[in-house]
């Protein structure tokens, strides 16, 4: 059986690629050829370069907004080619802002306030965002400071596009209908995505889909708990290759 040894790794909103460099290095130590990329705009459908990258890999992994972008990529690639890729999302909500059909998400008024804050004061909003994604860790203040130091957010226009994607993307049906192998990891202490999201996943789960709630983990677990994240990824890929 062909080994899945090429990975495309997509970072999340507001942090840049630096926080996932350690995860990338650990994946490479495990024998996976890994390419790490920043967020990009899928709303205007002008992302052929990223689709070309999908063609060259076996697994697409995304953190937070990156998980939604990963979902969009593998789904469109499947529609175009009939080929499935393994999809893994880390602390990612297929529908980030709540609606009548998907309640375990950020309330619309909370998101609107966050977006308004971003438009008014970018730096203060990023600082608060880093606080939210590290909140709940055993050393939250230090992790918050470390996240501020290591993050290298993309330009303003890319961040604004990212907020537009978080506001409008609803990929619940895409996950339900995608026939490739899927793993979705969530965090018990997530300050951005309600941990009750796992209850929604019971309703959309297919035979190809696995999902898990990580105890004592925050939204930033791909950065704060790298070895644990690697263990979950490798365990899933090993099982999938044997099946």
The answer to the question of residue 1 being in a domain is no
- Tell whether the torsion through CA atoms of 210, 215, 219 and 223 is positive or negative: negative
* Mean pLDDT along residues 156-168: 96
Predicted confidence at residue 13, as pLDDT, reads: 98
Structural domain harbouring 170: 6-242
**What's the CATH number where 21 sits?**
3.40.50.1820
Cα angle 61, 111, 217 (rounded to 5 degrees) comes to: 45
Average pLDDT of the chain is: 95
* Mean pLDDT along residues 159-182: 96
Q: In the β-sheet with 33-37, what is the strand arrangement from edge to edge? A: 33-37, 6-10, 59-63, 86-90, 182-187, 209-214
The answer to the question of residue 135 being in a domain is yes
Residue 155 CB-density burial (10 A; 0-12 exposed, 13-18 middle, 19+ buried)? exposed
Query: Global pTM?
Result: 0.96
The domain tally of the chain equals 1
């Amino acid at each position: 059986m062909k080994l899945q040894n090429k990975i495309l790794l997509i970072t999340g909103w507001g942090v840049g690629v630096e926080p996932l460099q350690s995860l990338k290095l650990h994946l490479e130590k495990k024998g996976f050829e890994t390419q790490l990329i920043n967020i990009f705009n899928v709303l205007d459908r002008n992302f052929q370069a990223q689709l070309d990258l999908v063609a060259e890999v076996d697994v697409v992994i995304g953190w937070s907004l990156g998980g939604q972008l990963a979902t969009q990529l593998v789904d469109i690639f499947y529609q175009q080619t009939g080929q499935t890729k393994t999809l893994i999302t880390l602390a990612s909500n297929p529908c980030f802002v709540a609606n009548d059909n998907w309640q375990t998400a950020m309330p619309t008024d909370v998101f609107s306030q966050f977006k308004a804050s971003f438009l008014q004061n970018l730096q203060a909003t990023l600082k608060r965002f880093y606080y939210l994604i590290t909140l709940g860790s055993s050393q939250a203040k230090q992790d918050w400071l470390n996240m501020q130091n290591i993050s290298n957010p993309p330009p303003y226009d890319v961040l604004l596009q990212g907020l537009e994607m978080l506001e409008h993307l609803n990929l619940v049906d895409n996950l339900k209908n995608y026939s490739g192998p899927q793993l979705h990891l969530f965090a018990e202490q997530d300050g951005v995505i309600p941990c009750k999201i796992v209850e929604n996943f019971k309703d959309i789960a297919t035979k190809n889909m696995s999902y898990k709630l990580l105890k004592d983990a925050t939204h930033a677990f791909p950065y704060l708990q790298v070895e644990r994240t690697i263990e979950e990824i490798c365990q899933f890929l090993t099982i999938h290759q044997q099946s």
